[in-house]
Chain A
Amino acid sequence: MSHSPTHPAEPVDGAARAHADESAQRLVPLRAATSKDVSTSDPALLPTPHPQSGQQSFAELYEDRLRDIWRAVHGTGPDAVVGVDAEGWLLVREAVFDAGFLSALTEAVLRRSMESAAGEEPFEGNPDAVELQVASATENMPEAMLERFVRGPLAATVERLERQNATREQVADIVLRPLRKVAGRPEATMLGMRLLGYVQGQRERTLGYCLTVAIIADLLGESADTESSYASLIGYHSALRGVWELLTEGELEFEGRARRFTATNTANLATEMWKLIEASPSTPEERERRHRVMRTLKMMAAVAKEAPDIEDAAATAVLEGLGVRAAPPRAALAVIRTIGIGVADLWSDDLPDQARLLSAGAVAAATMDESDRMAAAFFNAGVTLLQSDRRETSTVIWARMVLNLLGMRWGLAEDGTPAAFIAGDGLDCAVNLLGSAVEHRRLNRPDPPAPPELHRVARLVLGLLDLMPDHPDNRLKASRISRSGRILEAEPLPLSDLGPLTAAVDEAISALRTAVAGTRPEEADPLLDTARTVRWVFEDLLGRPSWPLADRVAELVAMREHAGDVFARGYAEYARPLDDPYGTGPLVPAGMLTEQEWAERCARLLGTVPDSMVRALRGFSL
């Protein structure tokens, strides 16, 4: 199995995208929704979405195949060449993509999949070629066709591949393709659990195998129920333990893919663990014990995380903007991104410090092409401040308004259309922005008063209501926005595109800073401006010139030089004893399961190894 060198990033906090297809729904006005909830802000942290699958997309798979074709002709891969050959590779790549081979392949395999009779296999070739064709088909297949596809063509293909002694890893990679499309559905989760057992039947353990197991764990983690979280966690642990064994036995170097794998999946494991922690009440002592394990996992992720692909000078500028001093700067941004996006109370009990970490994490994420995570992070930073004892003071309210405006700014930049913005995390920031504006209005003689630019933002947000589709998730938000609008005496402004709202948000940020500080430094770069605004919120507005967590960041940055050792030592506690087929796992040290419970769960999931996936596929139904 060949995987992309760019492994998807670890999970972060942010709104669940379960309703990402909302934009396709009919847009109907949603007004005057009723709710028993009387608050105007959403006080809950946005849920942690599960990470994107580690499986390559069809286009990435095809590009890998093209690299192998190049290798077949040249003897070396295109990455190994420079100069004229490098130009040659670009020429080949662009010609092949421009020639429309991908769309032709998609069309052909979809047609074959639809035309093939029951029991007939529409795909030919070895597992690599089959995976490419299945990826092409499933990425473009309507969900209504998926059941028939899995039961018929896919089952027949898997039957043939099993007969031809394809490895279980290869079969799993193929089966995962359609399942990813319905991730989160109980049927997909059931089949995923079976697949997790099925791959255990493969003796050979490689990094590719471990990645396949991790992708199955991704699939299981898409389900909301606790059992699926346990299954997903066991899957990640199994994958990480496999890599840990390869590293400690010297069969793998801790670099490149192995390092990315470790960074991603320790963070994924932490995410699943967090879901289980949240689902079960605990005493402060128990919680601290659990947090210790979580911190270990996040620390392993932070030191292994790949640095952003930007210039050192740019990284230094961002760090200075945030008020953090750490070297090397790119490594520091990777650490801030890893520990900042996620569960902030692992690192500090101080709420403003946590909020600053979340805000800094948002900025760091943008340097790693993850600006889609920023809105959720700023939202959570605002909610964190909402939990502080000083939440009703004007400075905290003012800070929340700025943070939510920053979240809106990046949500608007990311989402593009009103429908996408409504479906994304930016709308949550808008809800809480209006909520904090209401609280500000309720203050006795607020000083300074809210600038008129903020009022305009409120009016434009009210205009969004006409565009919100009638969806349960939207009703509460619409209700809060409407109530805030009434209190703020704001009349909705009609909105057809996001241009006026984007401009109004920028003006409001500027106005809020100017209202407090008197002046506002000009900064053309929006990311640097955001970084400096964050620093201003916490250092100037909230009066916290020092940030103790900066030392923690520096400490983790220093550990990155020995990232392999950090993982080898850190995960040893969960991977051992070696004669135990499943190891101790993270839940036992965290006190969430007894050793026996852990062993039983693992045995139930990993100990049942089916001979074939064909029967399960033929019985698949949605």
Chain B
Amino acid sequence: MEPLISMLIIIGGGVLVGVCVHFIPASAVGAMSASTGIATGPSMLSFGAGLAGILSASFALEEGLAVMLASGAGGSALMIILTILGGNLVNAFGTGVPPVSGQTANKLSVLGTSTKDVITGWEQKPYITPGTDGHGMPVQTTVSGIIGGVIGGLGGAMVFYGVYSLFSTFSVEAASLSGMVAAGIFLINCVLPAYTLVGKTEGMFDRKILRTPKTFLSCLIVSTFLALIIYSVSQYSGAV
């Protein structure tokens, strides 16, 4: 593959990684069931999903680009689904709160003033605990999380493939090297959106999704810088 195309793949993957964070529901206050979303910071959760994506993509390294991208997206989405399932089980049977979207119940959803779940049409308002901003991961949030997982895994696999195709020309250990570099790029890109999200997001039905262009632009700049470094490594490096 042309080195320049590999570099563009790295940049595109980095931007996708940044965008994916907006879709994955996460909130630190979720640990106390005081807010909708998985109970951790958005960037850390996205990083976990991305790492799962990079790992599963690396298994399909020999199968070609399409299979590898699909494998990455599948692995990442699977990780998100399992996390959401576990979180919902703990919320429902441990804490005793039903999954409910706080933003939708408070009429702050991006789709307008409806208090119903967009996908199932279930009423959200009666189930929300007063004084909290929702709890658990209801259907619309889960679907958004899965979309985020797919985007993130796709981005991670793209970065991995880009770095691998650049490194494989000069190093026999290209797979492990590019895994580490891809994880680094993923981490750098998924912390930037966390600045826009300010600690919590409910996924694509949260108003914060409207701030995605800012994330897009900043991830584009940072990914370009990193891709340039990696490109120059591949072009000017001696034998390792």
Q: Do chains A and B interact in one complex?
A: no
**Chain B: residues with CB nearer than 8 A to chain A?**
none
